[in-house]
Amino acid sequence: MICEHEVGLHPLPPRTAGCEECLKTGSRWVHLRLCLTCGHVGCCDSSPGKHATKHFHSTTHPVMASYERGERWAWCYIDEAELDVPPEAEPLLRD
């Protein structure tokens, strides 16, 4: 599925190699998510910090993609639906 929030996205390269907030505080994360609006890397909801979801609530950037090796899926927080990775974001994700 493709949602309206994916239309017109211009994904930016990841700003950090790990969760931006966890790296600052020395916390650990479980999985990483990449914001397809601004390149913010945050941790998933199984991580103590839940920084990817917090990033959505503070910025309203709607679509993130998995930033885990070999994973290819995206998620729209507004539609609460799994999405295909937009082709422009594909080269930014990890092999």
Q: Which is nearer to Zn ion, 71 or 82 (CB)?
A: 82
Supply the DSSP symbol for 75.
Answer: E
CB of 36 to Zn ion, least distance (A): 8
Q: Which is nearer to Zn ion, 45 or 71 (CB)?
A: 45
CB of 91 to Zn ion, least distance (A): 18
The residues, ordered by sequence, that sit 6+ positions from 89 with a Cβ below 8 Å of its Cβ are: 9, 11, 34, 36, 65, 74
Binding site for Zn ion (CB under 5 A): 3, 5, 19, 21-22, 29, 35, 37-38, 40, 43, 49, 51, 59, 61, 76, 78-79
CB of 38 to Zn ion, least distance (A): 3
Q: Which two tokens stand for residue 6?
A: 């994916």
DSSP string, 25-41: HT---S-EEEETTT--E
